[in-house]
Amino acid sequence: MLRYFLIRLAGAIPTLFAVVTIAFFLVHAAPGGPFDQEQTLTPEIQANLQRAYGLDQPIWTQYTRYVAGLARGNFGPSFKYKDFSVTELIADGFPVTLELGTLAMALALAMGVPLGTWAALRRDSVGDHATMALSVAGIAVPSFVLLPFLGLVFGIRLHWLPVAGWEPLSVAHLLLPVVALTLPPLGVITRLTRANMLEVLRSPYIRTARAKGLSLRAILLRHALRPALLPVASYLAPAAASIMTGSLVVESIAGLPGIGRYMVQGALNRDYTLVLGMVVIYSTLLIVLGLLVDLLYAWLDPRVRLHA
Amino acid sequence: MSVLAAEAWRRLRTGKAMGALWVTALILAFTLLGPLLNPNGIEAIDWSHVASSPSLTGAHWFGTDRLGRDLFARTLEGTRVSLAVGLLASAVSLVFGIGYGAVAGYAGGRTDHLMMRIIETLSGLPLIFFVIFMTVLFGRNEYVLFGSIGAVGWLTMARIVRGQTMSVRRREFIEAAVVGGARSGRIIWRHIVPNVIGPVIAYATLTVPQIIMLESFLSFLGLGIQEPHASLGTLIAEGAGEMEAAPWMLLIPGAFLAALLVALNVLGDALRDALDTGDA
Amino acid sequence: MPGSAATLAIDDLRVAFLPRGAREACRLVTAVRGVSLRVDPRECLGLVGESGSGKTQIFLAALGLLPPNSAATGRVRFQGEDLLGETSGRLNRVRGSRASMIFQDPMTSLTPHLKVGVQIAESLVCHEGVSWRDAERAALGMLERVSVPEAARRMRQYPHELSGGLRQRVTIGMSLICKPALLIADEPTTALDVTLQAQIIELLRSMRTEIGMSLVLISHDLAVVGQLAERIAVMYGGRIVECGPARQILHAPRHPYTAGLLECTPDLTRPVIGRMPTLGGQPPSAGTQIEGCAFAPRCPRAAERCRVERPPLETAAGCPESTVACHFPLTA
């Protein structure tokens, strides 16, 4: 298992390398540079800045330098947030984003799977229809509509929760952003679980389990849950991507000091290293998650063989 | 085929699907006919009504924004733009996806393996970042927007088309065409594509709301549709900033977007169920 | 005293399905149309019929295993307890411990992601409250008794790692781990090839004497049932058409349908000359209304009376232990 994991991890390096390369040349191919907007600068200072950051070098030299830096875990200096390295910026903001995303993912799973199972057991009941209607709404209404709306209701009108802002370890400040990020994947997970649970409950081995006189609890937990979770497992990577995307807007609406805001700002400012750093971080996260999903798959279904 | 279509139609006429169809049609009619009812222009500024609240008896039914622009006109414009982007970018992803998926599924073997590896790798990446890149870096105009969104949307479409193609490919009439000496391109175009179109249309219906959501997302970030034009995303972004003083600026476009997305999603689901004839 | 001491007594059982999407009761599909059966202690009853004749549904109904879109009426008594309409909590005290059932396809009827040992042991844990450790030890013993080679290694394997014959041995071991008073085996050999069939029948025979249980053997194949059963009931169109001692059914059938089935059963001891005989026509589908005898359209002896008046199941002339539902039964 560990060996498989390491082999796959090594296999992810070329993918990551390709991503970095494409992103690097895309960013550099775009018109404009990081210091264009600072009009007060004299041409000499501009040239000095360019030299200081190595931007006067041929692009291949810049590329090899950047990749060599990355290999040592150095994301380079930020062009816009002078005095800060990209590594520092990411180290500051990443815990907030990670906390937000992990909470949203955990909540979506912890609520979606039981809800979907419950709806499947009560198929065609009022509760089932209501759950399905809510999950469609959850899927359809984007977080950047939901979060301002929740802020309007619970913050501005009811004064129960702060509309925006951040304090370490404050549940109140995290609650609305987490809810806004949770609902879309929650809707998908609920629907997936329900559909597959219905399928599994019809299967002959569930009939065998019932013929053995097992309790509903044992049938669901031991016999039905794992096969019903297979499609949910393969949805985890898209879910993570959707939460990451959502965090870009949710962080800026709620004023959270995560790294989500750096993506858009960095791209607008032509802050090459910051944008590339973000791409590397998010791609790595998704690749590692994809790997974990493969392992999860093998546990859910022993017929799946792990081969590198 | 007409029997199948009739059966699909019968299945589609369930309460939910018809409700969704009505809501979609209503929104569509509203956005197209609305301007005829309302004298206020999209960019016209009414200095006597700045940030006024909605009133059905006054001059501005949905109120105005900070600049005194009529929100009714702007919401309709925004919905129209969002719908147009959704449809056009879906069409882009449809063409890409059908082409790629049909070739991969028909070729099979190594070609198929390689083409699917590419798709897998691409879908494992945060593609939204690439869309942001493209729109930021290469000018914020509509063509870049359509292109980059469509380029992301085709991945799932290609997978669906490939799966369908593989199941159709083994059927007798394809073999007959091969034996009859037809060229691969012709077989794909004349025999495969028409036979996979059902599930593809259903999925395309689900692509439209996804793309509308993506477009609103980009516009919300200021990367999509630019002033003075409006899409639902830009209106919501403006509204979110004025939430305390003028909540209608958030609620009205938000409600339009939510209704549109829910209706299109429900419609797409119903269409998929209806077209799922079980033998394909 | 037959009747009161019966292990299983089924009285006028009817099973109907409501197809999904149909709201009206008129679209009810009747699978079992009033069946009465008795299984005595230690007896082996064979139940024979074509697929769709309702033979499986009887026992699914008896153990409360029917799908949610179905309903059963009548009476089912197991060791003196009423089963029909009982809550699943009370049924669970019977199912798997005192009455077990195994199904046709051992590939799909074992849970794919659970190790074989766990699937056998869990019945003991559930019904007798023993620890997992003891239950797994008992499961190992059971696997050895049902002649699974290398039982200790098999315990840790998943169903897909076992061959079809081994899987069916596992399901048999699983169903017998609590030493039930009744085992219902639904087409236990159908999915297996011929040499394995004989082995499984042999296994059922030896386990039955060892545990001292009653056995219901359901099959479409009279030859399979004939190897084990002491009594045989023949079903057609949701009803029992003939029931009697195995000897009589196999050698002197009274119902033309039973006779037809026997003719179609290949006798492997004699060469087949010419074409294999087959029963012409199709059995009635479960939904159709039947006025007279369900077999009349395919029956060589059918007369006008057969098409309008349904023959009741009555004691056969000249053989008091048998019953037959035919206006014009064959004579010995």
Q: What is chain C's pLDDT, residue by residue, as a tens digit (332 residues)?
A: 444 578 999 999 999 887 765 555 556 788 899 999 999 999 999 999 888 788 999 999 999 999 888 889 999 999 989 999 888 888 999 999 999 999 988 888 999 999 999 999 999 999 998 999 999 999 999 999 998 999 999 999 999 999 888 999 999 999 999 999 999 999 998 878 888 888 899 999 999 999 999 999 999 889 889 999 999 999 998 999 999 999 999 998 999 999 988 887 766 565 656 666 667 777 777 667 778 888 888 888 888 888 888 999 988 887 888 999 999 888 86
Check whether B260 has a pLDDT greater than 90: no
- The answer, as to whether pTM is greater than 0.95, is no
Determine the pLDDT at residue C1.
Answer: 42
- Are the beta carbons of C234 and C227 closer than 8 angstroms? no
Going by their DSSP bridges, the two strands C99-102 and C81-82 should be labelled as unpaired
The alpha carbons of chain A give a radius of gyration, in whole angstroms, of 24
- Interchain CB distance below 8 Å, B136 and A264: yes
Among residues C204, C14, C216, C230, which one has the least CA distance to residue C101?
C216
Determine the pLDDT at residue C2.
Answer: 45
Name the burial class of residue C226, with classes exposed (0-12), middle (13-18) and buried (19+) by CB atoms within 10 angstroms of its CB: buried
Which amino acid is it at C17? F
C138 to chain A, any CB pair closer than 8 A? The answer is no
- Give the pLDDT band (50/70/90) at residue B61: low
CA distance A214 to B111: 49
- Interchain CB distance below 8 Å, A283 and B132: no
> Which range has highest mean pLDDT (A211-225, B57-71, B122-136)?
A211-225
Backbone angles phi, psi at A16, to 5 degrees: -60, -40
CA distance A37 to A19: 28
Long-range pairs for C19-23: beta carbons < 8 A, 24 or more residues apart: C19/C69, C20/C69
DSSP string for A11-45: HHHHHHHHHHHHHHHHHHHSS--TTTT-TTS-HHH
Residues across chain C? 332
Determine the pLDDT at residue A12.
Answer: 78
Of A31, A139, A278, nearest to B265 by CB-CB distance is A139
CA distance C84 to C323: 25
Among residues B240, C205, C25, which one has the least CA distance to residue A163?
B240
A203: which chain C residues are within 8 Å (Cβ-Cβ)? Answer: 108
CA distance C147 to C271: 34
Among residues C147, C227, C161, C170, which one has the least CA distance to residue C194?
C227
CA distance C30 to C2: 30
pLDDT single digits (tens) B177-190? 777 777 777 777 77
Name the burial class of residue A175, with classes exposed (0-12), middle (13-18) and buried (19+) by CB atoms within 10 angstroms of its CB: middle
- Are the beta carbons of A165 and A173 closer than 8 angstroms? yes
Check whether B278 has a pLDDT greater than 50: no
Backbone angles phi, psi at A263, to 5 degrees: -60, -55
Contacts of A207 (CB under 8 A, 6+ apart): C65, C103, C109
- Interchain CB distance below 8 Å, A141 and B261: yes
CA of A303 to nearest chain C CA: how many angstroms apart?
7
- Interchain CB distance below 8 Å, B265 and A263: no
Check whether B73 has a pLDDT greater than 90: no
CA distance B60 to B69: 9
Check whether B46 has a pLDDT greater than 50: yes
- Give the pLDDT band (50/70/90) at residue B57: low
Both tokens of A176, joined, read 């609305």
CA distance A269 to B139: 14
Share of chain A above pLDDT 90, in %: 21
Of A142, A148, A253, nearest to B216 by CB-CB distance is A142
Q: Is this prediction's ipTM beyond 0.85?
A: yes
pLDDT single digits (tens) A174-187? 788 899 999 999 99
pLDDT single digits (tens) A74-90? 887 877 777 788 888 88
Which of B120, B125, B208, B236 is most worth mutating to test chain A (most A CB atoms within 10 A of its CB)?
B125
Check whether A46 has a pLDDT greater than 80: no
Q: What is the dihedral of CA C284, C288, C292, C293, to 10 degrees?
A: 20
Show the beta-strand stretches assigned E in B48-155.
none
- Interchain CB distance below 8 Å, C96 and A214: yes
Among residues C65, C70, C52, which one has the least CA distance to residue C15?
C70
Q: Which residue's structure tokens are 């879309």? A: A184
Q: What is the dihedral of CA B115, B117, B120, B124, to 10 degrees?
A: -130
Of C65, C67, C92, nearest to A215 by CB-CB distance is C92
Instruction: From residue A57, give the alpha-carbon distance in Å to each of A37, A77, A272, C269, C272.
Output: 21, 16, 15, 93, 91
A140: which chain B residues are within 8 Å (Cβ-Cβ)? Answer: 209, 213, 258, 261-262, 264-265
- Give the pLDDT band (50/70/90) at residue A24: confident
- Name all chains with 3 or more CB-CB pairs below 8 Å to chain C: A
Q: Which residue's structure tokens are 């419609």? A: B267
C237, HSE (Cβ side, Cα atoms, 13 Å): 19
Q: What is the mean pLDDT of chain B?
A: 76
Q: Which residue's structure tokens are 């011929």? A: C194
- Give the pLDDT band (50/70/90) at residue B270: confident
CA distance B184 to C206: 62
- Interchain CB distance below 8 Å, B265 and A140: yes
Helix A225-254 with B193-220: angle, nearest 10 deg: 30
Determine the pLDDT at residue C143.
Answer: 94
Interior angle at CA A298, CA A294 and CA A304, nearest 5:
105
Burial pattern C91-118, b for ≥16 Cβ within 10 A else e, equals bbebbbbbbbbbbbbbbbbbbbbbbbbb
CA distance B67 to B65: 5
- Are the beta carbons of C177 and C139 closer than 8 angstroms? yes
Q: Phi-psi bin for C167: left (phi > 0), alpha (psi -120 to 50), beta?
A: alpha
Both tokens of A280, joined, read 């590397």
CA of C95 to nearest chain A CA: how many angstroms apart?
5
CA distance B170 to B192: 11
Q: Which residue has the higher pLDDT, A190 or B268?
A: A190
Which amino acid is it at C14? R
Which chain B residue lies closest to A29 (C-alpha atoms)?
A: B137
Which residues pair with residue C76 across a beta bridge?
Answer: C10
Instruction: From residue A282, give the alpha-carbon distance in Å to each of A28, A101, A279.
Output: 20, 12, 5
Determine the pLDDT at residue B277.
Answer: 44
